[in-house]
Structure 1
């Protein structure tokens, strides 16, 4: 899958912009806050129907405007043209279309045009709470397993209904266990399916991650990803029964796969506590490369790789090593941002043909 054209309208700091892409490696240069990252985020929208950086759509609308649109023209390996458009006319009127046909459910689009984003903000995966890591791995799996995504959506809906009832019971000091049974049954059904897939995919993910981390660190460190879930020791029914009183006191469901976590280790030590900043960057880069590999393996597509602020994570030598790797199978199209044109040309351009774009004050123009 290759992105050939990108059009932006009222997206973040862009009033209007259009880019045509040639080759495989596209580099955007310009000062900080000029809009380089916004271009990568627009491409992420085309794959995931949402921003990588903001929690909703409203912050992505250009200041003073009421709507935005992102349009991408893709070409498949067989030469078929696909046109994807994400637009928002007003709050609650978001549309995602493929070849002018609107999706009824945005989730049906996930995984059709896979992307992998690498950003300095990825440090949140190590330093923040379990919800950040869980959401990340859920988004990875959802790109190649539609059944997993559907089970996750249904689990969260049942969880929301159960939590609403628990809050009512807490507020009114009621203890009616029977009212929760219909939602408990659904949680039990979907929790097992989610748990089993997380276990399965974490084994594959861990394999790719260890291999990529070894390549990035010249085999000097051993990295691992461990999945942790309360379902490893108890079934969902037992968890819900045992936690009923604590759920009533809290007003929400305290146990289940929505509380799962992933632990990151380097040489058997928690990366969050003991890894240096450099070690954490290598760990996270290997994590994203593992995401790329497993998505390619499961879908047969080459995800678009979005590499924001490439030199934030790697020194010049490792950047060149990375670019050499990205020029080989199974990698495909890559979008890169950096502040220095000469650095891009001297380090990245030395090992691969590149297409350069200058970004300045919400405008973007291809170099001649």
Structure 2
């Protein structure tokens, strides 16, 4: 898919911007603090109907204005065009329209804009909390699987009710039998969430491994694992033991763990096992990257993971998503920078890349359009 045009009005530091994009690479360069990331934020908002950075959507409204407006013209496979419009006002009203039709939620995979983005803070994913990695999984799977989004909503509601029931039992205001219907539901829906996560891990492992090998010149071998709380902390799914998965009986193991932890859960008033307690792990040459990986290695892992997700999305959707890369070259050595840019040049994916120096991109991204960002303006430039 291709984001052909973008209109931004009263969004962050932009008052009124109209842009047309290159179907290949688009490089936005300028000094720090000029609004390069804000441009990517606008594209992100078109795709996900929320901010990637701000806690509240209202924080994205230009100072002194009452709301913002975004419009993107997206070309999908078969020469189908989608006009995605978003309006948001300080009162909290948010409107999404696709081809002039009002939508109440994110569009299905075959409509609108789909993206995969890398941002500077994403490098922290490797050594961040398990919660951050679960959020990453949830976001990426939800983009390609509407059923998964539904499971997440169901599970959160079930989890809330089960935790309330556990607290009632702890305070002697409820009975253990009150937990049984919630036990059944938390296991049933939770196992479905885990199953979909495992499917993603299994599909993405070989792709990410191949990309990571390319970016590192074959010096590093990446493996990714899924740590399932119902199997105990020492159990790990990964690319080398996926054959075990069919024999594990996820729901049965989950149910057994719920029973085993009953007394402890009651005493703590919370559910201690399930997809809300799981994690993903990353290894370079069989060494735990979260503990021993350098900043550049962690950044390379996340970049490989994001590009692998883009390839997987292309396989599922039949067309590649747009790629957002914010300050992607920092902390990478020259060899890794060159390999990354060569990878982007050789793949037919529309990219939006930010950096402070256009010269870093010139020799590798020969088909790119360059835009200079300065003081709330964005102007296409001819480089060289």
Instruction: Judge same fold: TM > 0.5, yes or no.
Output: yes
Superposed CA offset, 1:107-152 (max 9, x none): 6469852211112111221121001111112222222222222212
Distance 1:165 1:60, change over 3 A: farther
- Aligned partners of 2:60, 2:366: CA distance in 1, in Å? 33
Worse-matched range after superposition: 235-244 or 201-210: 235-244
Pair 252,16 (structure 1): closer, same or farther in 2 beyond 3 Å: farther
The residue aligned with 2:240 is: none
Q: CA RMSD in A?
A: 2.3
Please give the alpha-carbon distance, in whole angstroms, between the structure 1 residues aligned to 2:37 and 2:305: 20
- TM-fit CA distance, 1:66: 3.4
Task: Give the gaps of 5 or more residues in structure 2.
Answer: 233-251
CA distance in 2, matches of 1:299, 1:248: 44
Q: TM-score, normalised by structure 2?
A: 0.87
1:318 is aligned to 336
Q: Which residue of 1 aligns with 2:186?
A: 187
- Residues 8 and 167 (structure 1 numbering): CA distance in 2 closer, same or farther, change over 3 Å? farther
Q: How does 1:18-167 map to 2 (within 5 A)?
A: 18-106=18-106, 108=108, 112-167=112-167
Q: TM-score, normalised by structure 1?
A: 0.90
Is the contact made by 2:341 and 2:361 (CA closer than 8 Å) also made in structure 1? Answer: no
Report the more deviating stretch, 154-163 or 300-309: 154-163
Q: Which residue number corresponds to residue 350 of structure 2?
A: 333
The DSSP-based 3-state class of the residue aligned with 2:156 is helix
SS in 2 for 1:143: helix
Query: Offset at 1:33?
Result: 1.1
- Determine which of 287, 292, 299 is the counterpart of 1:274: 292
Match of 2:304 among 286, 309, 327: 286
**CA shift at 1:262, angstroms?**
0.4
Task: Provide, for residues 275-317 of structure 1, a one-character-per-residue CA deviation record: whole Å limited to 9, x for no partner.
Answer: 1222222222111111111111122120101111132153344
Pick from 352, 362, 365 the counterpart of residue 366 of structure 2: 352
Once residues 160 and 111 of structure 2 are traced to their aligned partners in structure 1, the CA distance between those partners, rounded to angstroms, is 25
Helix, strand or coil at the partner of 1:85: strand
8 Å CA contact retained: 1:114, 1:301: no
- The 1-side partners of 2:279 and 2:214 are apart by 26
1:237 is paired with a residue of what secondary structure?
A: helix
**What number of residue pairs does the alignment pair up?**
363
Gaps of 5+ in 1: none
Q: Give 2:279's aligned residue.
A: 261
* Equivalent position SS for 2:187: helix
SS at match of 1:141: helix
- Alpha-carbon distance in structure 2 between the residues aligned to 1:313 and 1:55: 27
Q: Judge which range, 284-293 or 259-268, deviates more.
A: 284-293
Q: Pairwise mapping of residues 154-233 of structure 1 onto structure 2 (< 5 A)?
A: 154-167=154-167, 172-232=171-231
CA distance in structure 2 between the aligned counterparts of 1:242 and 1:321, rounded to whole angstroms: 50
